[in-house]
Structures are given as structure tokens and as C-alpha cells.
């Protein structure tokens, strides 16, 4: 009888620990288009932890927004690094030129530009959404 109670207590404690872990405020953005908790675990977390959930979401929104805003700068740094390496190693430059010519034949320049424009547009829309959510979360935290 004591073994059954101990086992039941252990199972109950494990279930409670699992529930506690599942409802912890998520580290990533867990918001829908309306800047409200998206999905069951996020909604439970918001109900249970209130300000802790919103503070974690504010931090996640800021990190993601900053990441999206720095993407063009990172891409420019990577391209500059590739150019520097190509100047330092002429054999590599020749290989890159050959690969570039082959890629130019395969890719249609206009399609590539459209793709880049679509990516840029999506990135800017997400940045705008994140900034809007940042404002909504700050208002919720101020209450």
C-alpha cells in the first residue's frame, strides 16, 4: 500500500513538473497577429505568469526585431569579407568568377531581384509587426 502511494505521489509530482515546465514563459516570440498569446502553452503561461510572460515576450520581440534590422549589415560584411579573400587569393577569385558566370546563366536576374524585393518586404512587415507588439506589450506591463 505504501509503495502504491509513493508511486502515485511520484507520478503526480512528475505530472506537475511537466505542466510547470510546459507553461514557463517561452524564450521565442509566441504571439499571434494581434500580439496576443498564440496557442495553448503560451495562453496558459500568460494566465499563470502574467508580467513574467509579457516581460519575456518583450525581450524576445526586441531580440528578433534587432536581428531583422541588422540582417542587411551582416550581409554587406559577409560580401566584403568574400571580396577581400578573393583579392588575397587570385586562384580563388578565378574560381568564384567562373562559378558566378555559371550561376548567371542559370538564374534570371529579374527573378532574383523580385525574390530579394519580396524578402525585403516580408522582413520590413515583420519588423513593423514586432514594433507594434513591442508597444502593446509595454502597455500591458505598465498596467
Which pLDDT tens digit goes with each residue over 76-123? 777 777 777 766 666 666 666 666 666 666 566 677 778 888 888 888
Q: Rounded mean pLDDT of 119-141?
A: 92
Contact present, 37 and 30 (Cβ < 8 Å): yes
Tell me if the pTM is above 0.85.
no
Residue 23: the pLDDT is 63
Given this model, what pLDDT does residue 101 score?
66
Domain residues for 77?
2-142
Residues in contact with 26: Cβ distance below 8 Å, sequence separation at least 6, in sequence order:
41, 42, 45, 56, 57, 60
Name the residue with cell 546563366. 105
pLDDT digit string, tens, across residues 2-48: 677 878 777 887 777 666 666 667 889 989 999 999 888 888 888 88
Number of domain units in the chain: 1
The reported pLDDT for the residue numbered 117 is 83
b/e map 97-122, b = 16+ CB within 10 Å: eeeeeeeeeeeeeeeeeeeeeeeeee
Amino acid at each position: 500500500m505504501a509503495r502504491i502511494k509513493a508511486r502515485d505521489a511520484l507520478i503526480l509530482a512528475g505530472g506537475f513538473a511537466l505542466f510547470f515546465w510546459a507553461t514557463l514563459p517561452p524564450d521565442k516570440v509566441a504571439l499571434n497577429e494581434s500580439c496576443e498569446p498564440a496557442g495553448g502553452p503560451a495562453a496558459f503561461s500568460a494566465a499563470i505568469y502574467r508580467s513574467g510572460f509579457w516581460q519575456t515576450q518583450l525581450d524576445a520581440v526586441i531580440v528578433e526585431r534587432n536581428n531583422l534590422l541588422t540582417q542587411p549589415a551582416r550581409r554587406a560584411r559577409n560580401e566584403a569579407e568574400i571580396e577581400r579573400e578573393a583579392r588575397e587569393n587570385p586562384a580563388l577569385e578565378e574560381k568564384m568568377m567562373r562559378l558566378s558566370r555559371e550561376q548567371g546563366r542559370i538564374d534570371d536576374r529579374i527573378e532574383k531581384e523580385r525574390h530579394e524585393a519580396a524578402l525585403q518586404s516580408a522582413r520590413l512587415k515583420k519588423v513593423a509587426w514586432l514594433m507594434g507588439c513591442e508597444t502593446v506589450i509595454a502597455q500591458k506591463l505598465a498596467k
